[in-house]
Structure 1
Amino acid sequence: MRLITYRHDGRIGTGILQNDQVRPFVGEPAMTQVIEQGIGEVADQGIPLADIQLLAPLRPTSIRDFVAFEEHVEGVRRSIDGATGVPEAWYDAPAFYFTNPHAIYGPDDDVPFPAASVARDFELEVAAIAGPDRTIFGYTIFNDWSARDLQSREMTINLGPAKGKDFASSLGPWIVTADELSPYEKDGFLDLWCSASVNGTEVGRDLLSNMGWTFEAMLAHAARDSVVRPGDVLGSGTVGNGGCLAELWGRNGRQAPPPLTDGDVVTLTVEGIGSLTNRIISGPEHGPAVPARRRDPARARHERQH
């Protein structure tokens, strides 16, 4: 079953996509309500898919983005900080960072990068959508857009990425319920081909089943000593073999293929789910960030005491 959020005649609705017809949910629930309360009644009258605008399928309250592919870790690590290999700690447990749930873009939206960024990148991922009782409700395509020049600078502080990531994430084109992808299961993993193209040229292709952990294991780890709610998004992390440009830069020793620029069109395609396309633009210009004051704390304490 494919669940969508859409705009039609100035109204935003949710529904089921069947044979190029949208069957709206009665009562116009938000997608998070559908996920939490179950798939309810749909209208008798359908709307042609051609007559609606697809939106991001949901507005999650949180996004945990994991890093579940060794090949990606190795290549990007070399690109970002020049290190080689995979950190031993990566194998211990599925690592993730939180990204911004308020900067979500949907199918065919223009995605604004920080204007100052000149190392713009995509990330090809699949996102699992958490359901009730620590289950997985369904899956969608996830593009974790990355300003690599901002990211590499800020991560020297030994924190996760921040302004290099929080400007945009794309989800779509719809949510495919977990039961529909069960034929692709292999040893607990989803054996799906994932590919990425820039301006119609494929630059990466990998199997989702090359993940180091299943989505169920990542969900259980996320919920450990914490809270995961229905509708929360859990990204797979970027697939290997060209799932992002930075991995290729690390392996090639140079920025080839080149970073994304204004007007570039990125399409991510996942077997069994569909395709998600966005065009790159620049956001508004800003001045430089406010630098920290440099201070001698010990001297300040001494002066305050005397």
Structure 2
Amino acid sequence: MRIARFRHDGRTRTGVIEDGQARPFADDLDTIAVIEMGAGAASGLSLGTAVPLKDVRLLAPLHPSSIRDFVAFEEHVDGVRRSIDGSGGVPEAWYDAPTFYFTNPHAILGPDDDVPFPAASVNRDFELEVAAIAGPGQTIFGYTVFNDWSARDLQKREMQVNLGPAKGKDFASTLGPWIVTADELEPFKDQDGFLDLWCAASVNGTEIGRDLLSNMGWTFETMLAYAARDSLVRPGDVLGSGTVGNGGCLAELWGRGGKQDPPPLRDGDVVTLTVQGIGTLTNRITSGQTSRELPAVRRRDQEKARIERQS
């Protein structure tokens, strides 16, 4: 089953995509409510009148309460480290557990939306990922395509503080074009539980990278279990796979090649991500509003402050 949010005749609906048509849920349920039911119960919901898919505007399939973005591909870790800090290699700690960071759930974009990068950023990048959507009872409800947009120049500066990324990431993430329920992708699982799906990224029609999702270090089930450890994962929460290797983002290629080739994204560039069995997600790059300069930091004389505390 493919579950989507879409706009038609001035209304935003959630429904099922099948046979080139969008069919809204009859009871006007939203995506989170459907996910909380589980895929089995959702498959039995009543549907409204079908509308040709070409006549609707697809939106981000859900607005989650949280997004945990993992980094599950060794090749990506090595290449991006070379690009960001010049060190390269994979830290030994990476092998201990599936690491993730939280990104902004309030800056979600959907298919064909323009992506407003920070105006000051010049090293603009995409990230080709697959996102698992958590279901009830710590299960995986389904999957969607995920683009974790990155302002690499902002990211490089702020990660020197060993906390982040922050402003290099939180301006936009794209999900779509719909959620494919987990049962549809079961035939693609290998004997170890990894999804054997081809993932590809292109810029302005030229393919940049291609990799198998099964090259992940951990399955989505393992990442979900780790996320829930000593914590709480709710139905509808998003868990990103991390960026695939072999050109899943520009920074990996910059790190390996030692130069920015292909070049950073610019206004008007069109990025298309395609994942076998799920679908295609396309967005165009724009610039956001120019930000005001921050007030200068207040620097303190640490020795003077120490003496003042002791007096």
With normalisation by structure 1, the TM-score equals 0.98
What do residues 117-141 of structure 1 show as CA deviations (whole Å, max 9, x unaligned)?
0000000000000000000000000
Counterpart code for 2:228: A
Written as runs of structure 1 = structure 2, the 5 A alignment for 1:25-64 is 25-38=25-38, 39=42, 41-64=45-68
Counterpart code for 1:27: D
1:291 aligns with 2:300: no
What do residues 11-53 of structure 1 show as CA deviations (whole Å, max 9, x unaligned)?
1110011101111112211101100024152334211111110
1:93 aligns with 2:93: no
Higher mean alpha-carbon deviation, 286-295 vs 205-214, is at 286-295
| Residue in 2 that maps onto 1:281 | 286
Instruction: Give unpaired runs (5+ residues) of structure 1.
Output: none
What do residues 215-238 of structure 1 show as CA deviations (whole Å, max 9, x unaligned)?
000000000000000000000000
Asked whether the 8 Å contact 2:117–2:286 carries over to 1, the reply is: yes
Asked whether the 8 Å contact 2:80–2:255 carries over to 1, the reply is: yes
Distance 1:192 1:44 in 2: 32
Aligned counterpart in structure 1 of residue 111 of structure 2, from 107, 113, 137: 107
1:9 aligns with 2:14: no
In the TM superposition, what is the alpha-carbon distance from 1:202 to its structure 2 partner?
0.1
Asked whether the 8 Å contact 1:15–1:42 carries over to 2, the reply is: no
In the TM superposition, what is the alpha-carbon distance from 1:299 to its structure 2 partner?
2.1
Distance 2:310 2:218 in 1: 55
| Residue in 2 that maps onto 1:216 | 221
Asked whether the 8 Å contact 2:25–2:48 carries over to 1, the reply is: no
Distance 2:92 2:63 in 1: 35
| Residue in 2 that maps onto 1:154 | 158
Asked whether the 8 Å contact 2:3–2:180 carries over to 1, the reply is: yes
**SS of aligned partner of 2:271:** strand
Asked whether the 8 Å contact 2:265–2:285 carries over to 1, the reply is: yes
Asked whether the 8 Å contact 2:26–2:48 carries over to 1, the reply is: no
Aligned counterpart in structure 2 of residue 171 of structure 1, from 128, 151, 175: 175
Counterpart code for 1:8: H
Distance 2:308 2:95 in 1: 49
In the TM superposition, what is the alpha-carbon distance from 1:298 to its structure 2 partner?
4.6
What do residues 54-90 of structure 1 show as CA deviations (whole Å, max 9, x unaligned)?
0000000000000000000000000000002100000
Counterpart code for 2:97: A
1:118 aligns with 2:118: no
What do residues 224-261 of structure 1 show as CA deviations (whole Å, max 9, x unaligned)?
00000000000000000000000000000010000000
Asked whether the 8 Å contact 2:22–2:52 carries over to 1, the reply is: yes
Distance 2:30 2:232 in 1: 21
| Residue in 1 that maps onto 2:195 | 190
Instruction: Give unpaired runs (5+ residues) of structure 2.
Output: none
Asked whether the 8 Å contact 1:23–1:42 carries over to 2, the reply is: no
Seq. identity, %? 75
Asked whether the 8 Å contact 2:80–2:88 carries over to 1, the reply is: no
Asked whether the 8 Å contact 2:108–2:172 carries over to 1, the reply is: yes
TM superposition outliers: structure 1 runs of 4+ over 3 Å:
300-306
**SS of aligned partner of 1:36:** helix
What do residues 178-210 of structure 1 show as CA deviations (whole Å, max 9, x unaligned)?
000011000200000000000000000000000
**SS of aligned partner of 2:122:** coil
